[in-house]
Amino acid sequence: MVVLNKIYTRTGDAGETALGNGVRVAKHSLRVTAYGTVDELNATVGLARLGPRPNRTRR
């Protein structure tokens, strides 16, 4: 397992994060929260798709 003890981005941490288009927004903004929620949902759906599939019998 890879362990990342320190990560340097050279942008500092003033409570902001950069979006994909380069715009900086507060880490507590609704947009960042929504991105995190969608990411968690996507991971959950991915795990659910890996689960056991029901047996289907042909008629």
Cα(54)–Cα(23) distance, rounded to whole angstroms? Answer: 46
In a domain, 36, yes or no: yes
What is the tens place of the pLDDT at every residue in 2-59? Answer: 888 887 877 777 899 988 899 999 999 999 999 999 999 999 999 999 988 777 777 6
In a domain, 16, yes or no: no
In a domain, 43, yes or no: yes
**What is the pTM for the complete model shown?**
0.63
In a domain, 34, yes or no: yes
38 lies in which domain range?
24-49
In a 13 Å sphere around the CA of 29, the CA atoms on its Cβ side amount to 13
In a domain, 30, yes or no: yes
In a domain, 7, yes or no: no
In a domain, 40, yes or no: yes
